[in-house]
Structure 1
Amino acid sequence: MATETHTEAAAPSGARERLLDATEALIYAGGIHATGVDAIVKQSGTARKSFYTHFESKDALVAAALERRDERWMNWFIAGTQRRGKTARKRLLGMFEVLREWFASEEFHGCAFLNAAGEIASTEDPIRVVARKHKERLLDFVRIQCDAFAAESGMDARRGARLSRQWLVLLDGAIAVALVSGEAEAALDARTAAQILLDAEAQSASDRGMSTDTSASKSVSKSTSPSANKRPPSRRAAT
C-alpha cells in the first residue's frame, strides 16, 4: 500500500535529488540534530563536494527536503480525501481514514513538520518557516471543506473558519497520539470526536433556522392581526 512516506519510483536521480532523498529519510526517522552531513552524504551515495555544490548549509538542505515533502504529502492527502466522498461531510470525516492508513504503515514516524518544529527554537529559522507554511496549507485545504460543509448544512459561513481550526487540532492530535501510542486506531477515535463536532454544528444551524422561521412567523402574524389595523376611536365622535 502506497503512503506519503514512500519515495516516488523514478529513474536514477542526480546528486541533488539523492541528497534530498537521503536527508528526508534520515531526519524523518531519527531527527534533524541526530543526523549529520556525513550520514546524509553516505546514504545518498554522492561525494561530499556535491553537498556544498547544491546547498550552502545543512539547514538549507533540510529546509529544501521538507519543502519537497510538503508538496508530496499535500498531494497525497488531498487526493485521498477527495476519494472519500462527494459531500463535504464525507470528505472531512474521510480525512481520518486517510490518516489511519498512514498510521498503520511501518514507515510512520509522526508529522515530519511538527517533529522539525520541535527541534528548532527560532520561529524565523527557515526550517520552522517551512513547517509553519505546511500547516497553513493544510488549514487552507481543511477550510475549503469546512466552507462546503457550511453550505450543505445551512451553517453560518463565518463559523467555517473556527471549525477548520478545530479540525486541524483533531488531525494533528490524532497524529501525535498515534506516534506516541503506536496505535493506528487513534485516527478512528479522532474521527468519532469529529463526527460529534459536525453533528453539533449541523444541529446548531438547524436550531437557528427554526428560530428565525418562528420569529418571522410571529412578525407576520402580528402585522396581519385585526388589532394591528384597528384605528383608535375618534374623540370627535365620542363627544
Structure 2
Amino acid sequence: MSKKRQLLIDTALSLFYKQGIHAVGINEILLVSGVAKRTLYSHFSSKEELLIAALETRHCVFIQWLENKLSNAKNDLEVVSLLFQSLESWFDDNEPLLGEFRGCFFINTCAEYNDVTCEIRKSCEQHKLRVRQVVASKISNENQDSVTIICTLMEGAIVTAQVSGYTQPLIEQCIKTSQIMLHD
C-alpha cells in the first residue's frame, strides 16, 4: 500500500472517530493529511470508499488487540475477566493501540447510516460477527450458548461507557454476571 493511501486512511479514521463521519468533509481530510485532492481521488472514488478502508483498518487493529488481550486466558472465567478488564482499560484511555476512547467506531458509524443494506453497514456487521468469533474461540464448547450474552454485555458496556463514562462498577457487574452465567 502506498504511503499516501495509508496516510489518507489513517487521517480519515482519526477524524471520523473523533468528530463523526458526516461532520468531516473531504477538504478537512486533505488539509490535515496534506495530500492533494487528485491523489485522494486516485486512491478512492468517494468518501464512502475511504470510509470502508478506514473501517477495514480499525477492524484489523481492534481484532489484533482483542486476540492479544485474550490470548493468555486459561479458562472461561479468565476469558471474561480479561475481556472486561481490557475494555475498562480502553475506556480509561490506557490502550495506545486503540487510541482515545470515543465509543465503538462501528456502532458510531451505524448510527450515521440508516440503510441496513449499504456496504458500510455490512462492513460494521462483519466486524461485530468477527468480534463474536474471537470471543467464541476462547470459550469452551460447553459454554458456547453463553457467548451471545457475553458479547451483548460487552457491547452494552461499550455504549454505556461512551454515554455515561461510568465504567468500574459497570465492568465489575459485567464480570460478575458473566461468571455466574458460565457456572450455571
Q: Residue type of the partner of 2:117?
A: E
Structure 2: distance between partners of 1:193 and 1:169: 12
Gap runs ≥5 in structure 1: 1-12, 151-158, 201-239
Provide the secondary structure at the position in 1 that maps to 2:56. Answer: helix
Structure 2: distance between partners of 1:39 and 1:188: 40
Gap runs ≥5 in structure 2: 94-98
Q: Of the two structures, which has the highest relative contact order with CA contacts closer than 8 Å and spacing of 6 or more?
A: 2
CA contact (8 A) 2:115 2:121 kept: yes
TM-score (norm 1): 0.70
CA contact (8 A) 2:5 2:43 kept: yes
Q: Residue type of the partner of 2:65?
A: W
Structure 2: distance between partners of 1:169 and 1:142: 11
Structure 1: distance between partners of 2:24 and 2:119: 17
- Are residues 1:196 and 2:180 paired? yes
Partner of 2:127: 134
Structure 2: distance between partners of 1:166 and 1:184: 19
Structure 2: distance between partners of 1:107 and 1:189: 24
Q: Residue type of the partner of 2:90?
A: W
- Are residues 1:62 and 2:51 paired? yes
Question: Cα offset for 1:119?
Answer: 0.8
Percent identical: 32
2:25 corresponds, among 19, 30, 36, to 36
CA contact (8 A) 1:63 1:127 kept: yes
Give the root-mean-square deviation of aligned CA atoms.
Answer: 1.5
Question: Cα offset for 1:92?
Answer: 2.6
Provide the secondary structure at the position in 1 that maps to 2:24. Answer: coil
Question: Cα offset for 1:70?
Answer: 0.2
After TM superposition, list the pairs within 5 Å mapping 1:75-224 onto structure 2. Answer: 75-83=64-72, 85-105=73-93, 107-146=100-139, 148=140, 150=142, 160=144, 162-185=145-168, 186-200=170-184
CA contact (8 A) 1:100 1:188 kept: no
Question: Cα offset for 1:163?
Answer: 1.3
TM-score (norm 2): 0.90
Range that drifts further, 105-114 or 69-78:
105-114
Provide the secondary structure at the position in 2 that maps to 1:32. Answer: coil
CA contact (8 A) 1:92 1:145 kept: no
Larger Rg: 1
Q: Residue type of the partner of 1:104?
A: D
Partner of 1:214: none
Question: Cα offset for 1:149?
Answer: 5.6
CA contact (8 A) 1:60 1:126 kept: no
